[in-house]
Structure 1
Amino acid sequence: MIYLRSALFNTFMMLSVPLWVAALFLVLPFGYRARLGIASSWARTNLWVLKHVCRLDYSVEWRGQLPEQPCVIYMKHESTWETLAQMAVFRVQQSWVLKREILRIPVFGWGMFFMRPIAIDRRGGRRAVEQLVSQGQEKFAEGNYVMIFPEGHRMKPGKTRRYGMGGALLAREAGVPIVPMVHNAGDFWARVQFGKRPGTIQVVVGDAIWPGERSPQALNAEVQLWMERELRRISPNRDYEYARAEDAVDAAQRHGRWKR
């Protein structure tokens, strides 16, 4: 039944994409807020279908208040689920940082292009960081929160890697905080997993962490430590390669990723 339900959900999700892109095209003259409304309704609809077809729901625990001013939001990336959920959890005007290759995906990439994301070349090194900082500040001026997966790509549950510097540098340069968000979606819908196990995904949104005078590396280390500790709290039975969050962050800082 898990595979049957998952197949039904995947079919619905794929068929909904061209309808979403067509709707985005129709509201282009009405500005970004109208496009974001279409994108948000698409995400919430897919989450509703996921809940009722696959019996996979979610709950959100707020550990602090989301700042009224636009800021950087760091999210754990281990599933496709959070790419949908970010629009339901954070009901604010938002811009997404993503790899440029996504814009080349037929149909879906066209829709993402309409959403004016910060599309970076991950191989661009310093140029990619400078692009993120420059465009991120432009998005702040437009009233958008900047949504970032600091690990860069989806990770296996229980793994992490050194966070990219772009988000922390943007926060410091703009004088805005980072708000961290973790979840255990990978326990139910992993990155290469077809089946979606029923249950309730736990989401935790932390309090704002201000950069102050710290270096981007030090800021990232603090945020990552909070996120790794929370993951061990909400998913204590995972097969963590490092049992202690402190050891995980230390390894990521020294080696760039988890040992294999």
Structure 2
Amino acid sequence: MTTLRSLLFNIYFIGGTALTIIVGIPMLAFPPPLLTRFIVFWATAMLGGLRVICGVRLEVTGMKNLPPGGSIIAAKHQSAFDTMVWLMLVPNSVYVAKKELLEIPGWGWLARHCGQLSVDRTAGAAALRTMVREAKATLAGGRPVVIFPEGTRTAPGERVTYQPGVAALAAASGAPVVPVATDSGRVWGRRAFRKTPGVIHISILPPLPPRLPRAALMSMLEEMVETETSRLFSLPGRCG
């Protein structure tokens, strides 16, 4: 049954995304807010379909920890789920995504028009400086920036070195850094076809103290996110 439900959701997801691109391309002629609202609708519809078709529910704690205006949401990344959920939770948020994703014909055009940011992980310091400059302007405009400090999706229980982009952005912008943990990978794994019925938890932790040195910021961020992620995996969540 889980396999069948996963198949139905994948059809729904691919079809819904294709339709979104087709309808969204003409919106490129209009100011970004119109298309942004449409993309938020897409994300909400996809996650609603995940709940109805696959029995995957979402529980979020700590929304009160998100400061008003521009903040840096430094989130654990285990699943494609994470790349959609912030569009629903914080509709004016902007993701920092891999350059390859924003170069996809159609979808990349929509993402860039909405202000989504890219980083070329192969281009070194120059790419990081460009990302920081663009993200700083986004934060100054009052839009939160979602960044995945691991730089890639990780499997449950896997730990990788956190990338310094979040610290560079915090130093350049002065925006608060909000650590976020999740256990999304236990029901929607990395590149997984199956979506297992259960609960995805997202825990938004208090912002880090301001003006931390880079090493202290990275150490505290990783410790808070990984400790909370381990706690989330101890909670009831997976149904099969």
Q: Do both share a fold (TM > 0.5)? A: yes
| Partner Cα separation in structure 1 for residue 221 and residue 14 of structure 2 | 34
CA apart distance, 1:63:
6.7
Letter of the 2:188 partner, please give it. W
Match in the other structure for 2:102: 103
Aligned length: 236
Where in structure 2 are the equivalents of 1:25-174 lying within 5 Å?
Answer: 25-62=25-62, 64-91=64-91, 93-174=92-173
| Partner Cα separation in structure 2 for residue 112 and residue 165 of structure 1 | 24
CA apart distance, 1:113:
3.1
Secondary structure at 1:67's aligned position in 2?
A: coil
Q: Is the 8 A contact 2:74 2:149 kept in 1?
A: yes
| Partner Cα separation in structure 2 for residue 211 and residue 162 of structure 1 | 22
| Partner Cα separation in structure 2 for residue 215 and residue 72 of structure 1 | 16
Match in the other structure for 2:180: 181
Secondary structure at 1:123's aligned position in 2?
A: coil
| Partner Cα separation in structure 2 for residue 95 and residue 63 of structure 1 | 17
Match in the other structure for 1:6: 6
| Partner Cα separation in structure 1 for residue 21 and residue 142 of structure 2 | 24
Deviations 1:131-168 (A, max 9, x none): 12111111123322111011111111111212111111
Structure 2 residue runs of 5 or longer lacking an equivalent are 236-240
| Partner Cα separation in structure 2 for residue 220 and residue 192 of structure 1 | 27
Q: Is the 8 A contact 2:71 2:144 kept in 1?
A: yes
Over the residues paired in the alignment, what is the CA RMSD in angstroms?
1.8
Where in structure 2 are the equivalents of 1:174-253 lying within 5 Å?
Answer: 174-212=173-211, 214-236=212-234
Structure 1 residue runs of 5 or longer lacking an equivalent are 238-260
Letter of the 1:110 partner, please give it. W
Deviations 1:222-252 (A, max 9, x none): 1111111111111138xxxxxxxxxxxxxxx
Letter of the 1:219 partner, please give it. L
| Partner Cα separation in structure 1 for residue 64 and residue 177 of structure 2 | 12
Q: Give the TM-score normalised by structure 1.
A: 0.85
Q: Is the 8 A contact 1:64 1:206 kept in 2?
A: no
Letter of the 2:119 partner, please give it. I
Q: Give the TM-score normalised by structure 2.
A: 0.92
Q: Is the 8 A contact 2:98 2:120 kept in 1?
A: yes
| Partner Cα separation in structure 1 for residue 22 and residue 124 of structure 2 | 35
